Structures are given as C-alpha cells and as structure tokens.
Chains A and B, each alone.
Chain A
Amino acid sequence: MLSRIFHIFASILILLCLYPASGLTDESLSMADRMYDAYGVELFGFVDTRWGTRLVDDPNEKEMSLGEGRLQLELNRYFDQFQLKFKGDILGDAVLEKADVDIRDFSLLFSPTDFMDVKLGRMVSTWGTGDLIFINDMFPKDWQSFFIGRNDEYLKQASNIIKGSFFLGEYALDIVYTPLFQGSEYVSGERLSYYNPLAGEIVGRNMILEDTKPNRYFSDAEIAGRLSRRFGGVEASLYGYSGFWQEPEGMDPADGKVTYPRLNVWGASARMPLWGGICNIEAGYYDSIQDDNGNNPLVRPSEYRFLAGFEQELAQEMTGGVQYYLEAINHYDNYEQAVPEGLHIRDEYRHMLTARLTRLLMDQNLTLSVFIYYSPSDNDGYMRPKFSYKITDNWLLDGGFNLFWGKDDYTFWGRFQNNTNGYMGVRYSF
C-alpha cells in the first residue's frame, strides 16, 4: 500500500519537475493554471526541508531532533454538486530513519439540502476558542510535531470522519462521527524523552511507551457535537464528546501497556470583542468514566477545565495575547488516597498562563513571534520563539526554538525538559 502511494507521488513529482521547462516560456500561465485548464483540477503543493538539534544533552535520544524532507501535494476538483479534495505528504525522516506518508485530506464535500453540509473522508477538524490550548476540541493532535519545529499545521492530525453540519436559522449544529478512535500522537520516548512515573525518571528510547489502542470499528467510535449561535458580537457554543482520552491516560497492569480510557466531555465557550480586543472563555468537564470517582489509580481522574483569554493589537503590526488556564481534579480526596505509594500525587489545581506576542516587519514579510506556556503551580513552562521570512512569494525561511523547563521532572512541561531544541527550515511552494 505504502509503496503504491509512493509510486503515485513520485510520478506526480516527476511530472511537476518536467513541467516548468515549458512553463518558463510563458510566465502568465503557471503550472497550476495549466493543470486547471487541462483537467479542471487545482494543483498546489510545496517541498520543505527542516533540521533541528537538541540543545540539552539527553543520553537516551539522538542529538538531531528534526531532520526531514517533505513534499506536499494538494489536488482539488469542483463538480456541480460536490467538491473532491486530496492533500498528502510524503516524508523522509532522518531521525527515525524511515519514510512516511501522511494523508492530510482526502474528502468529499456536498450539500444534500440548503441547510446541511456533509463532509466525509479524512481531514483535519478544529473548534473551540483557545490559542494553542484545547478544551472542547477532542480531535487528534500531534504534539510531537509541534515540539520539534514542524509547521504549525502539523499540530492537527487528520482523521477519518463523517461530519454533518446543520444550519437552522440562527443556530449551527456540527456532528462529527469517527467510526474508529484514532487518538493523538503523543511523546512516547521514540523521538522525544519524557518522565516515566514507573521508572521515576526521564526516559527515552530506552523505554518507549507501548500502548493498546481501541481497535474495533463502530464500537470504539467517537462522536463529537457543537451547537453554536451568535448573539450580536458574541459567539456562543455548547459542546459534547463521547469517546476516549486522546492520549494514553490509563494503564493495564496485566501487560504494563498504556491504554486509552473512556471519556465524555461536556463544555461551553464564548468569544466576543471587548476593550478593542477579542476575549474568549471556555470551560469543560472531562468525565473519565472508568475513574470510579477518583478511586481507580490506573485511570486519569475526571477534571474540570477552564480557560479565559484576551488578545489585542498593541501597536501597528504587533499583537499580544494572554490566557489563563485551570485544570481541577474532581473527587480529589479519593484520587489522593488511591495513588499508589511512591508515585507522584498531582496537585488538585494546575494553573497555567500563556502569553503570545506577534510582530510583523518588512511589509509583513518577516514575522517574529513568541508563545509562552508557564505554570506557577507546577513551576514549569515551554517557550516558542520563532521567525519566518518570505524571501519571495515562493520561498519561505523559518526557524525557532522549543525551550522546556521545570523545577521537577514529573510535571507537565518539566517532563520534556531534556528536549529543548532549535530548528531551521526552508520551503518552496508552488
């Protein structure tokens, strides 16, 4: 299967390489225009290479944190009644020493009635109001890509879903059905190191996490819904989710593998203009069904999550944002009692602040930004300074750092502190 996809990609790539030879003579028609004229297909894509290195010694991981070449192709075709889309990457990964294919989108969109859109296939989905904090967005993420300096787009993973959207007067209802749970790409030790509570220390390739994933179609399904409506300038939404923890938050004592316990999430959000900026509030209750009111030490306990944020233009071409985030464990007394001796007990409340500063320079061709997560209760954090420079409309140069710190090894950001890295990338888009 993989080799066949490679073959298709390779053929398209060869075609693309041959094309500019004739395309150069007529500058008014780009390759994409020709493709569109000949077949009615929109064709886009990019080639991207990026390299990163660890800035902190980690005996269990390679010094190289990122090393890859990537080709993305996107093909769209609009028909009268529907739209067909394909977007996929082929990737040569020097860190894991393997090649990979990542289908980012392969979907069909149509509207059976005036008030309904249906999208089915593989795609990225997002909702919620947080800036790089997700409460009610239970769609798969790839934090590993985010931590090593891939483009932000790769924070979201594509998944196989059916999405129905209903537009009834002022209300919009979205239902996303995932026939088979996918889960997020988590830090397993293979590429990035993490704190393993059983080992009691930061481990990496010497102790790669093994998980048992729900794998039965339809019975291990997920369903997520959002009902939203606008009241003047205020956008309000209600959310519901039934499925599993997106990361392995449970453990099977029989084989020592991590598991994905059942989870329901109920939440709400609002976003509105305020004081010349944008303010957002979001809350959710994570009902960890198998936690037995906090008495089950093998499953992450139920939690309340809360977020409030504000973003504003601080000066011309400069935007700043701040957020406050809270996680509160439900039935904390039970949880505290249940944690086996020798294991670290989480605080009842985890507080976190984030700050973002984005500055556009040189006619918006240079973007400098920094995003900081900082938890005063865990005494840890993660900082992402970044630049990206558009050399021309086609060439983009970017780079940055992923800086983790923590007083303790076992806290949320502290557990990644041996992964601090820097990276650079260059991309040619067509």
Chain B
Amino acid sequence: MKLKRIILSTLFVIMMTTPLVHAEELSVDDIINRANLASYYAGDDGRADVTMTITDTQGRERKREFVILRKDKENGGEQLFFVYFKKPSDVRKMVFIVHKHLDRDDDRWLYLPALDLVKRIAASDKRTSFVGSNYLYEDVSGRRIDADRHELTQTTDQFYVLKNTPRQPGEVEFSSYTLWIDKATFLPMKTVYLDKNGKEYRVVEALEVQTFDGIPTVTVSTATDLIAGTSTLAEFKSIHYNIGLKEDVFTERYLRRPPREVRR
C-alpha cells in the first residue's frame, strides 16, 4: 500500500516536472485538458485588469474596463468569478458574479449600484456577447470540454492543431472550430470558427504572452467577427496569481462592498 503510494507520487512528480512531452505520448484528451487548465485554471486564483476596445465597422471605438477575480474550487472543476466594471460610466461599479458549474447552468448575479439591486440572471445561453464585445461569455469563463468532439488534425513544430465539433450542433452558431495550441505552454494561440456553411466567420487570437508568477499568460488578444467587420482588442494588466482570494469574496456581501483586490 505504502509502496503503491510512493510509486504513484514519484510518477506524479515526474509528470509534473517533465517540461515537454512528446506529441506521440499525448492523447487528444490530454492536450485539450491541459489547454483548458492553462487558459482557464492558472494558479488557484488570480486577478487581472482588463481593457476591451471594441471597434465597429465605421472605426468607432468603445472601451470597457473591468477587474476580474477568479478562484478555482477545484482544478478543472467549479470556479468563481467576480467582475467589477470601471468603464464606461453607465456600468461603473456594477458587479457581475458567476459561479461556474460543470453539471448545470452557471449561477449569475448582477449588482446595479444606483438602485442597490442584486439581480439574478438566467444563464442559459453562453454564446452571447460579453458586454457588447466580440468576446462571448464562453470565451471568458471557458467552454465545457465535453461539449465538443476533439480531433488532432496536425502537429507542427510549435502547435497542436485540433478540430472541435460540437456534440449538440443545435445549441451553437458554429459547425466546428480549429484550435492552435502552443506545444510549450498549452495556451490556445488561435481559434478559428466555421459557420454552418463551413465558412470562416470568427477568429480569436492571442497576440502576446508573458509569464507571471511562473505562469505563461495571454496578455493581449483579439476577437474578430469576419462577417460584421467588428473586432475587440483585450489587454490584460496587473496580473497576479495565488493571491489568497477567499470564497466569500464571491458572495452578495462583496457586491455591495467591492473587495480590496479590485481597487486600483
């Protein structure tokens, strides 16, 4: 029994310390799992200041500024999000809390400070624009891995290229999407969505990656709607991981009293 534990933990240590695993040894499931953890579960918790610049077809810009706090209840499992809006003025001090579940719809709350109102929001459609940008709710909090069938179509020097097909095509607007996952960091560097006619219509791309607290992190990305001609640039600043966020930060108490971690 003891021996088994030692072997298991040795194996675990080897697994965790092996920096690069050869493609042949990684299954599609391994790749997608590691990509999911790298992009949505970095550290046990974290914070970032986010600026989104939305450019419409006529070149007009609108800006959204918010702070996002995240805490993982378990790696790859349930998560808590706290989004505190700073700009524009009509949403200033609004707070959006999400309790992300894997087995049921997420719980979402929105706090409207001018009315001191805590509104609960139906969270059935995750493929809706997030704050009017080209990012969707699902881009922010992650898409369930088992919602798609994954297929490794190509392995290059730098990327694993995965084609993903939805299991429930009626629930989404795409017919499939292709992910370019960086072999070193497992961060998805590019995602191209095909519409129901197989035509490219949406691209999400990481433009810059930096390492914070030892964790490679996308710091600049864009989402482009190729049909509408609109795009959103997202910039992430003041990134910190493992800051010791308590679970109660993600409750009604902190809607009315934003925690220290969201202030400038």
Contacts and interface: CB of A to CB of B under 8 A. Distances in A.
Interface of A: 36, 44, 46, 78, 83, 109, 111, 117, 123-127, 151-153, 155-156, 165, 167, 172, 228, 233, 235, 271, 273, 276-278, 280, 311-313, 316-317, 319, 360, 363-365, 390, 392-394, 396, 429-430
Contacts of B114: 124, 151-153
Interface string B88-127: 1110100000000000110100000011111011111101
Given A235-B120, A316-B125, A393 B62 contact: yes
A83 to B, nearest CB: 8
B116 A124 contact: yes
Given A312-B124, A317-B129, A165 B253 contact: yes
Given A126-B115, A167-B248, A273 B89 contact: no
A317 B131 CA distance: 11
A277 B115 contact: no
Interface string B62-101: 1100000000000000000000000111101000000000
Nearest to A42: B264
Given A117-B257, A124-B116, A364 B124 contact: no
B161 interface: no
A277 B92 contact: no
B50 interface: no
B44 interface: no
Interface of B: 54, 56, 60, 62-63, 87-90, 92, 104-105, 107, 114-118, 120-125, 127-129, 131-132, 230, 248, 252-253, 256-257, 263-264
B124 A313 contact: yes
The 4 closest A-B pairs by CB, nearest first: A429-B89, A364-B132, A153-B114, A393-B88
Contact of B117 (A126, A280, A360): A126
30 contacts: A44-B89, A83-B257, A117-B253, A117-B256, A117-B257, A123-B116, A126-B115, A126-B116, A126-B118, A127-B118, A151-B114, A152-B114, A153-B114, A165-B253, A172-B253, A228-B252, A233-B107, A235-B120, A273-B107, A276-B105, A319-B122, A363-B56, A363-B230, A364-B131, A390-B90, A393-B63, A393-B87, A429-B89, A429-B90, A430-B89
Given A280-B120, A364-B131, 17 more contacts: A83-B257, A126-B115, A126-B117, A127-B118, A152-B115, A156-B115, A273-B122, A273-B123, A313-B124, A313-B128, A316-B127, A364-B129, A364-B132, A365-B132, A390-B62, A429-B88, A429-B89
Contacts of B127: 316
A363 B54 contact: yes
A165 B118 CA distance: 15
Contacts of A111: 257
A316 B128 CA distance: 6
